Amino acid sequence: MKHLCFEGISTLSEHNWIMDRILVRPSGPLSGDVTIKGAKNSALKLMAACTLTEGTFRLNNVPDITDVRLMSELLGSLGMTVERISENTLEIVNPGNLTPEAPYELVEKMRASIVVLGPLLATYGKAKVALPGGDDFGPRPIDMHLRGLETLGAKFHSQHGYIEGNCEGLTGARIVLEFPSVGATENVMMAAVRAKGETTIENAAREPEIADLATFLNRMGGNVLGAGTSTIVIEGVDELVAVEHSVIPDRIEAATYLAATGIAGGEVNLIGARPDHMDMLCQKVGEMGMRISADPNGLWVMCNKDLQSVDLATLPYPGIATDYKPFLVSMLTVASGVGIVTENLFSGRFRYVDELIRMGADIRTEGHHAVIRGVNRLSGAPVRAHDIRAGAALVIAALKADGETEIRDPEHIDRGYEGLVENLSSLGADIQRLS
């Protein structure tokens, strides 16, 4: 690994031994404040965008999580230097003349790694990136990434588990995505910012993380318009510069503590949360009986009565995010009535349901649908975290489970959360992490 510096960033090997299970006992109402960290799904893409030009970047409000450490290692393998210079700030040095190859042993651990493909192609005219891994909840092909980049002039072939691309310069074009894929939108945006001429992305993803990336690219000297809408227009530029930027708050983390408050009851302030990034979620949990209000510091949430069941379906932003769904399913397991949940985005994302059933939940799944009949209380049991959000959903479900719940494989949770156990404990939850 070349030019890799992790002063203040713990390596993965140092973390493997620390803890291997989380224990939760039933908790009373939660109370207090939680500060929401920077968005994982934005920070990783901003780090990838630092491959676009040489110089020293500073990213503020970056969570200290496993996926950030993995992306740091990936950038190091390309020839960059990553250093955590304070609790929340990364300094990323791009010396230029990177080696545009992302190795399998890093990419297979984190799906977001594929977004280095576009900027490396745009900058170096070639890139070799291993096929991505990450959470195990069904196939998520990268065909749209490749078709979008091909429209700009890249050519690809696949062999030995790697995607290899090359181009003799990229040229702006009109790209229509068959689905508003976040990753494909980001890959094309980062490539198009260095392409010749104008690129239009139709049916683009509209997530807040897309707008955050566009803001970062524009600060670097790019010309990106329309991010956050379904049509993004990028005028390619010849030169970019390294800049400083603060990552937006993590709406998925905020949703986790919101759902925990709904399950356990209580009153919590989510400091730094962006209610405008969570409109549909706030509306849905409001229908379930929670009280929610924006304030100057973030989001105030309260639940002082039994939850009521609702029906919901996952949709691209601004709809209910698929990452929210495990938390909402956990809420529905202890709500009055019957709720029907439809997963429209990822076919395998009900795999954690069996773990909730082990805890006494009454859930029946069929294809893309789950029917959840609420029970008064769950029952503590040993369960396993299969991915980041499913693991967090089991933790918050355990807040209303009699006895003791043991969540195994919490390293999946570490990929997306900094201090989940500590934060819940500070709110009054009976929770601890043990090796």
User: HEC string of the chain?
Assistant: CCCCCCCCCCCHHHHCCCCCEEEEECCCCEEEEEECCECHHHHHHHHHHHHHCCEEEEEECCCCCHHHHHHHHHHHHHCCEEEECCCCCEEEEECCCCCCEECHHHHCCCHHHHHHHHHHHHHHCEEEEECCCCCCCCCCCCHHHHHHHHHCCCEEEEECCEEEEECCCCECCEEECCCCCHHHHHHHHHHHCCCECEEEEECCCCCHHHHHHHHHHHHCCCEEECECECEEEEECCCCCCCCEEECCECHHHHHHHHHHHHHHCEEEEEECCCHHHCHHHHHHHHHCCCEEEEECCEEEEEECCCCECCCEEECCCCCECCCCHHHHHHHHHCCECEEEEECCCCCCCCCCHHHHHHCCCEEEEECCEEEEECCCCEECCEEECCCHHHHHHHHHHHHHEECCEEEECCHHHHCCCCCHHHHHHHCCCEEEEEC
d(CA 76, CA 64): 17
209 located within any domain: yes
d(CA 164, CA 158): 6
Q: What is the pLDDT of residue 325?
A: 96
- State which of 193, 216, 237 marks the end of a domain: 237
Judgement on whether residues 322 and 193 belong to the same structural domain of the protein: no
244 located within any domain: no
Quote the number of domains for the chain.
2
Burial code (b: 16+ CB inside 10 Å, e: under 16) for 6-33 equals: beebeeeeeeeeeeebbbbbbbeebbee
381 located within any domain: yes
Q: What domain range includes position 69?
A: 40-237
Q: Which of 67, 135, 250, 387 is catalytic?
A: 135
**Residues of the chain with confidence (pLDDT) below 50:** 1-18, 134-140
Judgement on whether residues 231 and 295 belong to the same structural domain of the protein: no
Q: How many CB atoms lie within 10 A of CB 149?
A: 26
* Amino acid identity for residue 338 in this structure: V
207 located within any domain: yes
Q: Provide φ and ψ at 228, rounded to 5°.
A: 100, -10
Helix axes 208-219, 40-49, angle to 10 degrees: 30
164 located within any domain: yes
What is the number of residues in the chain? Answer: 435
Beta strands 291-295 and 244-246: pairing type?
unpaired
Judgement on whether residues 170 and 198 belong to the same structural domain of the protein: yes
Q: What is the pLDDT of residue 359?
A: 98
Judgement on whether residues 288 and 223 belong to the same structural domain of the protein: no
Judgement on whether residues 304 and 275 belong to the same structural domain of the protein: yes
User: First vs last Cα of the chain: how many Å apart?
Assistant: 30
Judgement on whether residues 215 and 277 belong to the same structural domain of the protein: no
d(CA 59, CA 71): 13
Judgement on whether residues 259 and 176 belong to the same structural domain of the protein: no
5 located within any domain: no
Judgement on whether residues 191 and 321 belong to the same structural domain of the protein: no
Contacts of 137 (CB under 8 A, 6+ apart): 346, 348, 349, 351, 386, 387, 390
Distance of CA 334 to the CA centre of its chain: 26
- State which of 213, 237, 261 marks the end of a domain: 237
Q: What is the CATH number of the domain that holds 160?
A: 3.65.10.10
Judgement on whether residues 210 and 308 belong to the same structural domain of the protein: no
Judgement on whether residues 351 and 418 belong to the same structural domain of the protein: yes
Cis peptide before 318 (omega within 30 of 0): yes
What tokens were used for 427?
Answer: 């709110």
Judgement on whether residues 255 and 157 belong to the same structural domain of the protein: no
Q: Provide φ and ψ at 167, rounded to 5°.
A: -160, 155
Q: What is the pLDDT of residue 348?
A: 64
What tokens were used for 287?
Answer: 């229908």
- State which of 237, 260, 283 marks the end of a domain: 237
Q: What is the pLDDT of residue 4?
A: 45
**pLDDT per residue as tens digits for the range 101-149:** 998 888 888 878 899 999 999 999 999 998 875 444 344 478 999 999 9
Q: What is the pLDDT of residue 409?
A: 94
Judgement on whether residues 398 and 277 belong to the same structural domain of the protein: yes
Beta strands 369-373 and 338-342: pairing type?
antiparallel
Q: What is the pLDDT of residue 345?
A: 87
For this structure, is 135 an active site residue? yes
Q: What is the pLDDT of residue 133?
A: 53
- Tell me how far CA of residue 179 lies from CA of 203, 204, 248, 376, 390, in angstroms: 7, 8, 24, 39, 24
d(CA 198, CA 172): 5
